[in-house]
Amino acid sequence: MIVGERKPLEEIFESIEGAKDILVAGCGTCVAVCMAGGEKEVGMLAAELRMGARLRGLDIDVSEATAQRQCDKEYLETLREHVEGKDLVISMACGIGVQYLALNYEPVRVVPGINTDFLGANLDVGEWAEYCQNCGDCVLADTGGICPIARCSKSLLNGPCGGSANGKCEIDPTVDCAWQLIYDRMKALGRLDRLSEVHPPKSWKTSRDGGPRRLVREDQKT
């Protein structure tokens, strides 16, 4: 899932300068799961904004609404009645949601309420770790289901680098060496021979030299 975290309140106040009628718009999927931008977090930010506005002597009106997803036009439409007439919208979605909300409701000003961090997995209560960099050229079949791009500090496609010690990364001793994990997994699977195959550099499509990536499923279009 996409993992994010709330921006500092002072930064948010700077971004809404001059606005009088504000909507705090949440997203009910990824950022709700990581407790950054769901309905609960929307309510908390709205309350902080109202209190902060009084302390700053600002005259602003703050309302709240949450869509199931801000990256989907169908769900985004549910926010229309809440967005119309507003000076500004604080999107509590990931960066995709912020941009898509701005696109579909221009010229309403839209600003982010959270920072989008990474694609990650929930390791424990309140703890997430990056597991994917959505490179578009997945090699997990050859690495035992462990991503060398996201989980190796050097993103080595053909590791290891030789700098790890006791299974830990030389860059950060609290981080597991991804290639040690890959080796151990492939050994357990009886597939160590696969590690002798060299992966070529990523193509222009995955390095993004060709611009923003796009996926079109003709079989799904009507």
Q: Which CATH number covers residue 82?
A: 3.40.50.2300
The DSSP element (H or E) to which 75 belongs, if any, is helix 73-76
pLDDT of residue 210: 66
Q: Which of 113, 91, 114 is nearest to 102 (CA)?
A: 91
Q: Which residues of the chain have pLDDT under 70?
A: 203-210
Mark whether 106 and 141 lie in a shared domain.
Answer: no
What was the pLDDT predicted at 39?
A: 98
pLDDT, residue 52, reads 98
How many domains does the chain divide into? 2
Asked whether residue 96 is domain-assigned, the answer is yes
CA geometry: angle at 80 spanning 75 and 82, to 5°?
A: 115
pLDDT for residue 73: 94
Residue-level pLDDT at 204: 56
pTM for the structure as a whole: 0.89
Fill in the DSSP letter of residue 194.
G
Domain boundary among 65, 94, 118: 118
Note whether 70 and 97 are within 8 A (CB): yes
Give me the residue label for tokens 């991503």. Answer: 147
pLDDT of residue 165: 92
- State whether 15 and 79 are in the same domain: yes
Strand pairing category for 114-124 and 2-6: antiparallel
pLDDT of residue 207: 58
Do 107 and 26 fall into the same domain? Answer: yes
Q: Do 163 and 112 share a structural domain?
A: no
Q: Which residue range is the domain that position 188 belongs to?
A: 133-207
Q: Are residues 44 and 91 in the same domain?
A: yes
Q: What is the mean pLDDT of the chain?
A: 93
3-state secondary structure of 160: coil
Tokens linked to 205? 């499509």
Compute the distance between CA of residue 111 and CA of residue 98 in angstroms, rounded to an integer. 7
- Specify if 12 maps to a domain: yes
**CA atoms 35, 109, 8, 53: torsion sign:** negative
Assigned token pair, 92: 């509590």
pLDDT value, residue 81: 97
Both 72 and 107 in one domain: the answer is yes
CB atoms closer than 10 angstroms to residue 109: 17
Q: Among residues of the chain, what percentage have pLDDT more than 90? A: 85
Note whether 51 and 89 are same-domain residues.
yes
Residue 88 lies in a domain: yes
Do 13 and 60 lie in one domain? The reply is: yes
In a shared domain, residues 86 and 176: no
* Residues 94 and 29 occupy one common structural domain: yes
State whether 109 and 13 are in the same domain: yes
Nearest to 112 by CA among 124, 100, 126, 128: 100
